[in-house]
Amino acid sequence: MRGFYIFLIFLLAQTAGAQTFRVATFNVESYLDVATGHRRVKSEAAKAKVRECILAIKPDVIALEEMGTTNALLELQGALKADGLDLPYWEHVSGRDPTIHVAFLSRFPIIERRPHTNENFLLGGRRMQVSRGFAEIEVEAECGKVTLIAAHLKSKLTSPEADEAEWRLAEAEALRRIVDERLTVDPEINLVVLGDFNDLKDSKPVKTIIGQGKTKLFDTRPAERNGDDQKDRRVTWTEHYGAEDLYSRIDYILISHALKKIWQPDGTWILNLPNWGVASDHRAIVASFMAGRSK
């Protein structure tokens, strides 16, 4: 039964993939090929489950958080290709954190790369940097040019350097400045801002990234495909925090006004495979868009 369920999801993904542009984000929880500090090398079982998740989604572009070195990214890329999913184009961004990074794998050529590795801010009188940086790429998809910005904001773990909430808010403000720059240059830009924001939808960091007024981003709010038809009560959690047994929605796919015109709510969902936790403490989320151009 489990095998049939996975096959059905993969079949649906393949069928929709020819008609849609599919974007995903997935925190792959320390996908490391070299142990560093308290982070261990990703086990073969965990890596296999990560691949199973991505194969079930069949994304055109996927943002990855907590990726290790470029070698780890290329190993994942090669293993996916061997399993039948070719995402030949990639981006890997290193920020202040030497261990985990943000990255992209893409079916489409990356026509622009704008890595943000030195975004900084003052916090408590200290000049600090965004820990993981931001990965920004532009691809030419069936719906036109799409700009994607991936982020992995400061976690809620305490730090001797600064208050974690203030740190996360400062990173969110840095990200929003980039968003504002893109929307100022082109108010009709096809823009996706996605990743692990490490906070809830009504928090200051997430509200800051979403913004207000004409430049406000739209929260696609992926949910489980489990038959629920109550929009406000669908299952939307994306991360399990074991220390407190909390299930929270902290991973997001936000889109611009222009991209919302071709957004497909029915193609926007949370992957819910059996034993998902073998891969990561997060679940992958997906948003889809019509292949026709938005402008």
142 pLDDT tier (thresholds 50, 70, 90): confident
Look up residue 112 and give its two tokens.
């622009």
- How far apart CA 201 and CA 218 sit, in angstroms, is 12
pLDDT above 90 for 227: no
- Predicted model pTM: 0.92
Please calculate the CA angle 217-223-227 and round it to the nearest 5 degrees.
145
70 vs 160, higher pLDDT: 70
Domains and CATH numbers, the chain: 2-222+234-290 (3.60.10.10)
Q: What is the pLDDT of residue 49?
A: 98
Compute CA 29 distance to the chain's CA centroid, rounded to the nearest angstrom.
12
Q: Is 260 helix (H, G, I), strand (E, B) or coil?
A: helix
CA nearest to 270, candidates 284, 251, 282: 284
Look up residue 28 and give its two tokens.
């792959």
For 231-290, how does the pLDDT look when each residue is reduced to its tens digit (9 = 90+)?
A: 778 999 999 999 999 999 999 999 999 999 999 999 999 999 999 999 999 999 999 999
Mean pLDDT computed over every residue of the chain: 92
- How far apart CA 134 and CA 65 sit, in angstroms, is 10
Q: Is 149 helix (H, G, I), strand (E, B) or coil?
A: strand
Share of the chain above pLDDT 90, in %: 84
